[in-house]
Amino acid sequence: MPYSAEISRTSPTCLLFLIDQSTSMDGPFGGQPGKKKSEGVADSINRLLQNLVLKCAKSDGIRDYFHVGVIGYGDGVQSALGGALAGRHLVPISAVANNPLRVEQRTRKVDDGAGGLLEQSFKFPVWFEPVAQGQTPMCQALTLATRVTQEFVTQSPEGFPPLVVNITDGRASDADPRPAAAALRDLGTTDGNVLLFNAHLSSTPSPPVVFPAGAEELADPYARHLFKMSSELPTRLFDAARADGFDVIFGARGFVFNADLVSVIRFLDIGTRVAQGVRP
Amino acid sequence: MSERPATTTWRGLCLAKRGHGADEYEDAFAADPGAGRFAVADGASESSFAGAWARLLVDGFVRKQDGPNWLAAARRDWAAQVDGRPLPWYAEAKREQGAFATFLGLVLGRTPEGEAVWRALAVGDSCLFQVSRDRLVERFPVSDSRAFGNQPHLLGARAAGAARGDGHAERRGSWRPGDRFLLATDALAQWFLSRHEAGERPWEALAGLGADDFGAWVEECRERDGLRNDDVTLVVIEA
């Protein structure tokens, strides 16, 4: 079955995030009133990276199941990682874990187990700040992603194929992005083609759409483009989405509208998951 | 059931997932044959300090006298091992979530009337098999090789984080001298069931294995017989 290669330290896979940093991202985010799209994106990518790191964190450190890159596109197309990781297209997840721009101390309310709420402090790492400047050279970003993933699959020709997650408000300024997206999805390993998933953040306060199987319910023309550019969920990810309570139907694609793709991190199988802890 | 010692011999065998070092093995097994108590546990790969948790669970279970507090004690011991250490942000977050493991505990004993009985407690997909007169007479709690997945029920090391549903199962049965009990973590249990479903007697292959040849057998089985690459643990009890 395709997309069943084991993800391990000896056979890691590649996760590449493409982040729209264009001026239009300064507009309001329909998914969260009071927030700009660029802030929605920064939240989203920080949570994605955090979840990815936690997935790989063990008591003795981080296991490098993933090589990760973040490419920003707006006023240029380049790695959006900062600090010690600046300029690098792909880094092991352990390097991401150990090099956030800063770690904030935040608090949240948690169940105290006795019917009350308890304030608990926790650390929140930040790798990525909101940026909204320039055009939307999405085609160039997809072309750079093709180069980076090509290099990865050459080194790892039998591994789980790279997953590219594009987060945008949808309006490519350089050309129709669909051919560049198709070229990216044409790459692959013996285990399957490169997966391209898209998260569309819109200024329209429309209800979120998650993993649709058709473009009919998408009113926005850019959303329909992005849907068509998105890979179908492979069987194992589809099953994981089902198991996680997503109401997906046959043909569901890796596309969300006014929602984030953090759930996708949970679908990647590196061993026993801890979503269903119980107490006898 | 009295916890009078049963006459048993047993052995425990284990191997880390391929590609992992022995220090990264996160299953555990323990036995007190005198008390007729045996256990295996499988620390969940996505949780931290899971090997220590699996170890505390099996040790706590086999040492348990009476009363339900062995689990609370194991949780206290786990917290004492891991809390208070300075850790990087991610290790701290994982520690707060707690460690998770599947678990299977077996108690062999006799009733006051002398009847040979057993009882087992399971959370998740670590399994018990009972073979009597060359027939598989019990499989618990999973009975079908297709029922394994990557989200089994789990026992959490933090009581608060672990109170999501209730996935524990209990079973009781009887046994005869000469019966064989096998306790296995999920990869081997799944292999065992699939071979049995194919009409084979997988216990025969396992019966002859010892510490010196278990590793080679597991590797061969991973290579050629569909054994999933995972930590592998087997406890064989001859009752």
Q: Which of B48, B89, B123 is opposite residue A278, by nearest beta carbon?
A: B123
Altogether, the residues listed in chain A come to a count of 280
Cα distance between residue B203 and residue B196, in whole Å: 9
B183: closest CA among B38, B64, B76, B65? B38
Q: What is the DSSP letter of A47?
A: H
Q: Closest chain B residue to A100 measured between Cα atoms?
A: B89
Is there a contact between A178 and A225 (Cβ–Cβ < 8 Å)? yes
**Mean pLDDT of all residues in chain B?**
91
- Higher model confidence: residue A261 or residue A201? A201
List CB contacts (< 8 A) between A113 and chain B: 159-160, 163
A82: closest CA among A19, A138, A15, A142? A19
Q: Give residue A157's identity as a one-letter amino acid code.
A: P
Is there a contact between B133 and B182 (Cβ–Cβ < 8 Å)? no
Helix B50-63 with B70-82: angle, nearest 10 deg: 150
Cα distance between residue B137 and residue A72, in whole Å: 60
For residue A83, give every residue at least 6 positions away whose Cβ sits within 8 Å of its Cβ, in sequence order, or none: A99, A100, A101
List CB contacts (< 8 A) between A107 and chain B: none
**Subunit contact B19:A277, Cβ cutoff 8 A:** no
pLDDT tens digit string along B186-230? 999 999 999 999 999 999 999 889 999 999 999 999 999 999 999
Is pLDDT at A106 greater than 90 in this prediction?
Answer: no
Cα distance between residue A264 and residue B79, in whole Å: 31
Cα distance between residue B63 and residue B48, in whole Å: 24
B237: closest CA among B170, B177, B191, B156? B177
Compute φ and ψ for A255, nearest 5 degrees: -140, 135
Cα distance between residue A259 and residue A243, in whole Å: 19
Compute φ and ψ for B41, nearest 5 degrees: -145, 155
pLDDT tens digit string along A125-152? 999 999 999 999 999 999 999 999 999 9
- What pLDDT does A158 receive? 95
Is there a contact between A241 and A267 (Cβ–Cβ < 8 Å)? yes
| Banded model confidence at residue B2, pLDDT cuts 50, 70, 90 | low
Cα distance between residue A95 and residue A83, in whole Å: 11
Strand A117-126 to strand A163-168: parallel, antiparallel, or no bridges (unpaired)?
Answer: unpaired
pLDDT tens digit string along A10-64? 999 999 999 999 998 998 888 777 888 898 888 889 989 999 999 999 887 899 9
Cα distance between residue A58 and residue A68, in whole Å: 18
| Banded model confidence at residue A277, pLDDT cuts 50, 70, 90 | very low
Is there a contact between A166 and A199 (Cβ–Cβ < 8 Å)? yes
pLDDT (mean) for B78-93: 91
List CB contacts (< 8 A) between A274 and chain B: 44, 46-47, 97, 100, 154
| Banded model confidence at residue A120, pLDDT cuts 50, 70, 90 | confident
pLDDT (mean) for A242-264: 89
**Mean pLDDT of all residues in chain A?**
89
pLDDT (mean) for B1-29: 83
Helix (H) or strand (E) holding A183: helix A178-186
| Banded model confidence at residue B181, pLDDT cuts 50, 70, 90 | very high
Is there a contact between B234 and B13 (Cβ–Cβ < 8 Å)? yes
Handedness of CA A216, A220, A225, A227 (dihedral sign): negative
For the entire predicted model, the pTM comes to 0.83
Beta bridge partners of B110: B2, B116
pLDDT (mean) for A229-247: 92
- ipTM > 0.85, yes or no: no
Q: What is the DSSP string of A105-119?
A: EEEEEEE-SSSSEEE
Q: Which of B50, B52, B153 is opposite residue A276, by nearest beta carbon?
A: B153
Q: What is the DSSP string of A188-227?
A: EETTEEPEEEEEE--SS-PPPEES-SSSTT--SHHHHHHH
**Subunit contact B93:A276, Cβ cutoff 8 A:** no
Altogether, the residues listed in chain B come to a count of 239
Is pLDDT at A96 greater than 60 in this prediction?
Answer: yes
Is pLDDT at B41 greater than 90 in this prediction?
Answer: yes
Q: How far is B52 from chain A (nearest CA, A)?
A: 10
Q: Which of B47, B49, B159 is opposite residue A279, by nearest beta carbon?
A: B159
Q: Closest chain B residue to A53 measured between Cα atoms?
A: B90
Q: Which two three-digit tokens encode residue A6?
A: 């084991």
3 state SS of B217: helix
Is there a contact between B39 and B27 (Cβ–Cβ < 8 Å)? no
Q: Closest chain A residue to B88 measured between Cα atoms?
A: A98
Q: Which residues of A lie inside 8 Å of B (Cβ-Cβ)?
A: 6, 8-10, 53-55, 57-62, 97-98, 100, 103, 110-113, 120, 122-123, 125, 243, 269-280
3 state SS of B230: coil
**Subunit contact A122:B168, Cβ cutoff 8 A:** no
Q: How far apart are the first and last CA of chain A?
A: 36
- What pLDDT does B163 receive? 40
Q: What is the DSSP letter of B235?
A: E
Cα distance between residue A177 and residue A141, in whole Å: 10
pLDDT (mean) for B133-158: 93
Handedness of CA B154, B160, B161, B163 (dihedral sign): positive
List CB contacts (< 8 A) between B121 and chain A: 280
Is pLDDT at A102 greater than 60 in this prediction?
Answer: yes
**Subunit contact B89:A275, Cβ cutoff 8 A:** no
List CB contacts (< 8 A) between B168 and chain A: 278, 280
**Subunit contact B155:A279, Cβ cutoff 8 A:** yes
List CB contacts (< 8 A) between B141 and chain A: none
- What pLDDT does B164 receive? 44
pLDDT tens digit string along B158-178? 876 554 445 789 999 999 999
Is there a contact between B15 and B24 (Cβ–Cβ < 8 Å)? no
Compute φ and ψ for A106, nearest 5 degrees: -120, 165
- Say how many C-beta atoms besides its own lie within 10 A of residue A130's C-beta: 17
- What pLDDT does A268 receive? 82
Q: What is the DSSP string of B47-85?
A: SSSHHHHHHHHHHHHHH--SSSTHHHHHHHHHHHHHTT-
Q: Which of A60, A123, A278 is opposite residue B92, by nearest beta carbon?
A: A123
- What pLDDT does A105 receive? 87
3 state SS of A269: coil
pLDDT (mean) for A221-243: 93
